[in-house]
Amino acid sequence: MFSNQHNMKIRSVEELLDSEDTGWKLVSEWIAEATNEIQVLGRDTEKGRTALYHTQVTTRSPMGAIIFHTGGILVDQAWIRILGSGSAEMQRSLPSWNQGKAFDNYGESIPFLLVADDAVGGFFALNGGGLGEDHGRVYYFAPDCLEWEALDLTYTAFLSWAFTGDLADFYQNCRWKTWAEEVPKMKADQVMSFYPFLWVGSMDLEQRQRKTIPVQEAWGLQMDFRNQLLSKWENENG
């Protein structure tokens, strides 16, 4: 699906499964070498098969391996949530989460593919052509400015960054003092919402009110505000 397969043959699950599971071998090695805390969520085999079929990537790839072999992966005390095939802890699968956002119907060519998100409503997406000219690179939708920011990372490089990168530095403006106590208690389908919103004003993070909301609500809210700001800019600039 991701490689703009609108005119391509839809492959069966059997065609997408690689008997050597080279993708999962690699991901397992990266997890073993990770310097950030990793939690691999259990998967249901049938859900894994269904999610793999809907995404149309093979298990030779790290993405396909994560979709088929995991319900998802939580990184750094569940601060980052990497989408897999869904589980009790994170009910969203990668394809089901993208439906209605990146595409309406399975099999369509898509502008981007949401692959992960974080505890403050930031979203990571693989560019399918709709975010810039760098097809296949990861972008981050930043909740403090409502902009898609190019990270110049492939999906594999994004995994390496999530597993071993300096997340404290990347999130230095979005982590409150007690985040390490609060975030692990949240569901992986929830995010922390702040008021005033992170994109409003320069108030210190500790002074903003916060509460948990569904990640679906956070996505819709941020997209609505982003569209309003874009419309306002277009009206003002002709």
In this predicted structure, the answer to whether residue 232 has a pLDDT above a threshold of 80 is no
In this predicted structure, the answer to whether residue 1 has a pLDDT above a threshold of 60 is no
d(CA 72, CA 191): 16
Q: What is the pLDDT of residues 25-67, one digit of tens each?
A: 999 999 999 999 999 999 999 999 999 999 999 999 999 999 9
Give the pLDDT mean for 118-147: 97
Q: What is the pLDDT of residues 197-217, one digit of tens each?
A: 999 988 999 999 999 999 999
Per-residue CA distances from 212 to 31, 185, 192, 222, 225 (Å)? 28, 10, 4, 15, 19
pLDDT-based confidence at residue 19 (cuts at 50, 70, 90): confident
Q: State residue 8's pLDDT score.
A: 63
Q: What is the pLDDT of residues 83-117, one digit of tens each?
A: 999 999 999 999 999 999 999 999 888 999 999 99
In this predicted structure, the answer to whether residue 238 has a pLDDT above a threshold of 80 is no
% of residues, the chain, pLDDT over 70:
96
Q: Which of 88, 83, 75 is nearest to 102 (CA)?
A: 83
In this predicted structure, the answer to whether residue 5 has a pLDDT above a threshold of 70 is no
Q: Which of 102, 107, 93 is nearest to 10 (CA)?
A: 107
Per-residue CA distances from 170 to 142, 151, 214 (Å)? 11, 11, 23
Give the pLDDT mean for 169-190: 97
Q: Rounded to two decimals, what is the model's pTM?
A: 0.94
Give the pLDDT mean for 66-92: 97
Helix (H), strand (E) at residue 31: helix 22-32
Q: State residue 107's pLDDT score.
A: 85
